[in-house]
Amino acid sequence: MSYFVKCKHTMKQGRTEKAVFAKLSTEKVELGVVDDIKDAIRRGQEIEDMLSRELNKYNGLLRAAGQFNRHYNDLISKSKELGIEPPAEIKKLKDIADGFEKKGQAIKKVSNLF
């Protein structure tokens, strides 16, 4: 059976070596912080790009509201010509389309920030 003995060797460092190691350690920490800052900016830009793409979908809301309003106005006009009332549910749909318009305009304002 063999026994291993661990030897602990201590090297004395001179003042110059200590100063160099201290300086290198400080620079390494500073570089790490710079990398962290760059990573945070990169992540922020990725999120900003994703939000910008998603916010541009407000155009779909505005188009849907516009298309509804054209059909709605046509329906109201033809109903008046015929002397009949438009279907009762059309008022509820008009309210939904108005909501599309309001939300689309609000999102448009936000998207202008990007």
7: left (phi over 0), alpha (psi -120 to 50) or beta: beta
CA distance 93 to 99: 10
pLDDT at residue 3, as a whole number: 46
DSSP letters of 67-113?
A: HHHHHHHHHHHHHHHHT-PPPTHHHHHHHHHHHHHHHHHHHHHHHTT
For every one of its 114 residues, what pLDDT tens digit does the chain have, with 9 covering 90 and above?
Answer: 444 444 444 455 567 776 666 665 666 666 778 888 999 999 999 998 998 888 877 888 888 999 999 999 999 999 999 999 988 899 899 999 999 999 888 888 888 777
Any idea what DSSP says for residue 113?
T
* Dihedral sign computed on CA atoms, order 63, 68, 73, 77: positive
pLDDT at residue 22, as a whole number: 65
